[in-house]
Structure 1
Amino acid sequence: MAKPMDFKIYVDQACRAAEEFVSIYYETMDKRRQALTRLYLDKATLVWNGNVVTGLEALTKFFDTLPSSEFQVNMLDCQPVHEQATQSQATVLVVTSGTVKFDGNRQHYFNQNFLLTAQSTPDIVWKIASDCFRFQDWGSS
């Protein structure tokens, strides 16, 4: 009987972490891009529309090339990743989708997947281990 409640607590914690993270991530992307890499692990990997970027230095250079943005998240889903798959590291899969305008250009649909891992500082801080962003413009004309 204890197992289902434990799992529900784990899921609830993952959902709270994901909601807080998504709010911080997209606000930082839109308004304080220079601070965005603070949300990533040192050896994090980003796949942006099929282009791979690894490590904080490369991420900083990449984000500097992007024009200003206006993200609107329309959907958020999350789930904890089983500890057997992550060597007992607390990990959450976060999936978002919505729309983005870069530098006032036309709106694009996007989806983005994050793997977040809990980092122990005085408090728990969730950092991005893996990030996959993809435009979904196949449905627009």
Structure 2
Amino acid sequence: MTSPSFRKRQRAFILQLAVLGAVLFLLHSYLLSSLAPDSIFVIPIWQVYLFHVITVLLVYGIINYRYTMGKTQVFNAFIVLMVLKMVLVVVFLLPLFLSDVGHKIGDAVNFFIPYFIFLAFEVFSITSFLQSDEPC
């Protein structure tokens, strides 16, 4: 059973993540259509954003749950989740690595710029609720 504080934090985070994801996706799509209209990418941009939103939501949800259950020392869990996320990144980018496409830099940029933006948002959100005075 989850506490009201868990659900409150989770709902607020999901709303913020949805807004961030939608704004970044629309901006990214607009920039690609304006600056590189003829570019063809191995990994579609919507899959990149779906991957980021799902992984960030899972990491935040697990940390939030552990914190709610009284485990305030969540650093080890966060590190393990980041390593797992890095493994998932490699698996997600495998089609790009294995493709015969000559220019892979565009796909890499399309993936890693949002990756670091979502990572910064994730770290900021987790540290914000860990530093708050709100009870578990």
TM surpasses 0.5: no
The TM-score range, normalised by the shorter chain, is 0.3 to 0.5
Q: Given the two structures, how large is their TM-score scaled by the length of structure 1? A: 0.32
Q: Given the two structures, how large is their TM-score scaled by the length of structure 2? A: 0.33
Q: More helix per residue: 1 or 2?
A: 2
- The structure whose RCO (Cα within 8 Å, separation 6+) is larger is 2
